[in-house]
Structure 1
């Protein structure tokens, strides 16, 4: 790649596209808690069966991320964003028409899961290929889209559900999300040959004991993290908190993670990334004590999700 293109305006356009694609795909995925009660009530299912929708989505997203990360090197980012747009639109529209939750496992789990796998992991890899000097800042800004998307999508979904019902809300999100993803294809470009030549190979990473320990800790962290993403809103509503206000909890979690990514990202060079990572993991575990003792206190729940979001953002940073 010509030196003038690295860290250039073209590079920052790819950051903007990744920010939006992450906000759309993962913001919609993480807003599931706003739909939880309405879907469980209509289908007459238990909390456990309803939560499987989110579990299928996250499993699809994480496992396919291994494939889409390689696919972007071969095909470039635009075809993957097209797949994300079609998958998100098709999955949400199909889910809005399902007559049973079991069918929703396929339509929602596959539709949103594929969209997230195509709209997040490979796009972040593209951003890394466009930068040398400002790579950390660029990637940090790009992944901040997850937090912003969560901050916006969860309370927005709750308001739309109150106004139109959960089925029409999925149709609205499907169309709106697909349009935004198609817009991202106009901004993002494949890094030119040679820009990613210094990136480590996947086989080298797997061979590293440090990588394997990091992967294991990240898996354990993610399992714990996704429990409040699904249930903190339902828990608040069970205590009498209005639906939109309860959905704001997930939004605050996402918003706090954005701030944490910026702050912790600037501290990594001075404090050390591994030290900050350990601190955030320890703090993440402590925050669940607040949820345990929250009782009927909405204020303690706010404190819980804000601190959880800070730990989440710090781990990602």
Structure 2
């Protein structure tokens, strides 16, 4: 599929778009993945249990993943800049309103919609824009862009925990809302729309996608992996605190997941271009599943804080490889026409996994008084995600030369 006449691929504008995508994802995911630091303070103030409090994050993740097909499709038609500006407005409004709520259920709406829309606007449209700018180095370019998620995860949770100790969770939301919106506006100024494939269009219709084995395999893997991933993102800081760690140290575990994911994204992105994207993609899910043996071992046998650090590192590497390679594998499989919509459709599965996984894990913690069943369920879902990707190795893929 040839690109329409216009700017050439791999141009300087493409590199600027990678930079904008990196910062955008660092901002929106730094805010979203910092929720673990807010978990205990909000639960204490509102007098709610783990299940009810975790619904805040579950609604947020559900919103951003379910809105991703819409934000991706709009970006395919008008470019990523207007979408990113809408995300900046949503982030500011959502966090400023959340800082004033008097009941937790109102936060489901303000935080869930505000941060959820911001992530939907600052993630998939930017990933698709990067994918449209690069051909020969697409996996590496996407890996660099999405490594912003890891940097945001690294900085967001520890920064939130520190600010919460200084000014409370409400004041921290105000700071995150204002600063985050300003940074997103800057990204919107920098980002450039990629050359459009000849003939336009939005890719295969949903009914046709549902009949394709690679799409079903990827959808199932994404749903199960999201269940596995978001349980520790939300519940690991509280578990660490209950095991004797400080709140800042518990929040830092989410940051460590972010650091390790940066390594996984960049390193595995480069490895995939040389040794095969699908095999490396599958290996990422296997690593994610294996990571839960560290958390389960700590729950069963106890041990030093370093065991939880090891869990965060291994989980982050697997998570980083998954997120870095999935857009490139989607582009290889279905082409780049309507790529934003295609990525968004796959990511609706992650929204379902987050909506189910985080509250179910919270309910298991409340019911059992511990995190063992929640961690075990998450680990099994990680294993199921790896099993779901096995079918990808038997699928027929679009050749790179056909995709652009």
Q: 1:195 to 1:131 in 2, by over 3 A?
A: farther
2:314 match? 307
* Aligned-partner Cα distance in 2 for 1:132–1:66: 23
CA contact (8 A) 1:239 1:296 kept: no
Of 88, 92, 98, which residue of structure 2 is paired with 1:89?
92
CA contact (8 A) 1:237 1:243 kept: yes
Q: 1:130 to 1:275 in 2, by over 3 A?
A: closer
Of 279, 291, 297, which residue of structure 2 is paired with 1:293?
297
CA contact (8 A) 1:78 1:189 kept: yes
CA contact (8 A) 1:129 1:195 kept: no
Q: 1:71 to 1:86 in 2, by over 3 A?
A: same
* Aligned-partner Cα distance in 2 for 1:214–1:186: 33
Q: Which runs of 4+ in 1 moved over 6 A?
A: none
* Aligned-partner Cα distance in 2 for 1:110–1:10: 32
Q: TM-score, normalised by structure 1?
A: 0.95
Q: 1:198 to 1:258 in 2, by over 3 A?
A: farther
CA contact (8 A) 1:129 1:196 kept: no
Q: CA deviation at 1:194?
A: 3.5
The answer to whether the aligner puts 1:128 opposite 2:135 as a matched pair is: no
2:383 match? none
Of 257, 261, 286, which residue of structure 2 is paired with 1:253?
257
* Aligned-partner Cα distance in 2 for 1:71–1:262: 28
Q: Report the 3-state secondary structure (helix = DSSP H, G, I; strand = E; otherwise coil) of the residue aligned with 2:112.
A: helix
* Aligned-partner Cα distance in 1 for 2:8–2:214: 33
The answer to whether the aligner puts 1:213 opposite 2:217 as a matched pair is: yes
Of 99, 116, 119, which residue of structure 1 is paired with 2:122?
119
In structure 1, the gaps of 5 or more residues are none
Of 275, 278, 302, which residue of structure 2 is paired with 1:274?
278
Q: Report the 3-state secondary structure (helix = DSSP H, G, I; strand = E; otherwise coil) of the residue aligned with 1:165.
A: helix
Q: 1:202 to 1:59 in 2, by over 3 A?
A: same
Of 10, 14, 30, which residue of structure 2 is paired with 1:11?
14
* Aligned-partner Cα distance in 2 for 1:218–1:264: 18
* Aligned-partner Cα distance in 2 for 1:193–1:99: 47
Aligned residues: 317
CA contact (8 A) 2:42 2:169 kept: yes
CA contact (8 A) 2:139 2:272 kept: no
1:59-110: CA deviation from partner (whole Å, max 9, x where unpaired) = 0011000111101022221111111001000000000100010000000000
Q: CA deviation at 1:3?
A: 6.6
* Aligned-partner Cα distance in 1 for 2:132–2:199: 5
Q: Report the 3-state secondary structure (helix = DSSP H, G, I; strand = E; otherwise coil) of the residue aligned with 2:190.
A: coil
Alpha-carbon RMSD across the aligned residues, in angstroms, is 1.8
1:115-157: CA deviation from partner (whole Å, max 9, x where unpaired) = 0001100111111112222222211111111001000111111
Q: TM-score, normalised by structure 2?
A: 0.75
CA contact (8 A) 2:36 2:251 kept: yes
1:199-226: CA deviation from partner (whole Å, max 9, x where unpaired) = 8535454432112111111110111100
Q: CA deviation at 1:279?
A: 2.4
Which structure has more RCO (C-alpha within 8 Å, separation ≥ 6)? 2
CA contact (8 A) 1:148 1:254 kept: yes
Q: Report the 3-state secondary structure (helix = DSSP H, G, I; strand = E; otherwise coil) of the residue aligned with 1:303.
A: helix
Of 28, 44, 49, which residue of structure 2 is paired with 1:46?
49
2:80 match? 77
2:30 match? 27
